[in-house]
Amino acid sequence: MQTNRRLLLCITFSLSSLLVNSHYFPSNPSFTSQSDWKHARATYYAAADIDVVGGACGYGDLEKNGYGKATAGLSTVLYEKGQICGACFEIRCVEDLRWCIPGTSTIVTATNFCAPNYGFEADSGGQCNPPNSHFVLPIESFEKIAIWKASNMPVQYRRIRCRKEGGVRFTIGGAGIFVSVLISNVAGAGDVAAVKIKGSRTGWFPMGRNWGQNWHINADLKKQALSFEVKSSDGVTLTAYNVAPKNWEFGQSFEGKQFDS
């Protein structure tokens, strides 16, 4: 009887330990799971090979806007027609002991599109052609995981949550009643799925995606304070009231609240 009681206590203690140690479940497991590594390839470009101003996501000057060299251009299957802009990825080199730097990884933000070249086969020069998963990295990021001589390397990647300094930035462009808003420096999921805008004398209006993370609307919002509702791809909504004062002008940028990292 005493032996059975000790055995029962042991089993109960073990189960309790398992429950205590497994109480945490990530809000979005696809961003954090160690088992979610996927296969791709990566190449690099040198600073002289590309203009850091512009890019298919519309972030403008990447250095000025806080993205620096921790960026990536994504192939067609990864780019998702611009929806993925702003998402963060962790990338590590695999399978090639000659060139990989063991135990390293690099974290980048999706800021550009690597266009397909249908003059080449996907496995022979058309590195960004479907169905290839491919990243084009600045050489500074590439050299964190591999020797530069490697050129085109097999890698593994996974989505991770973005960490950003400061709040979400709203840059207002356009003219007249055409209002365009670039949304950048987004933490959490990083990529924006939907946006609404509100003037101080209006209700909420949904905005349409123009390209990348540029959103637009035709509405007379002059001389009104502007508020924004931003929904990220993981379903989290951020509401930032009166981000832009009523005397805002086209070309100005304003900072609102930030998503949790």
Low-confidence ranges of the chain (pLDDT < 50): 1-30, 33-35
Two tokens, residue 30: 């696809």
How many Å apart are CA 137 and CA 83, to the nearest integer? 19
- Residue 19's pLDDT is 29
Query: Interior CA angle at 86 toward 83 and 140, to 5°?
Result: 130
- Residue 261's pLDDT is 74
- Strand-by-strand arrangement of the 208-211 sheet: 208-211, 214-218, 178-184, 169-175, 253-255
Q: Which residues pair with 10 in a beta bridge?
A: none
Sole residue written with tokens 């002991």:
97
- Residue 28's pLDDT is 44
> Measured between alpha carbons, how far is residue 61 from residues 45, 66, 120, 145, 177 in Å?
17, 9, 31, 25, 26
Two tokens, residue 256: 């609102």
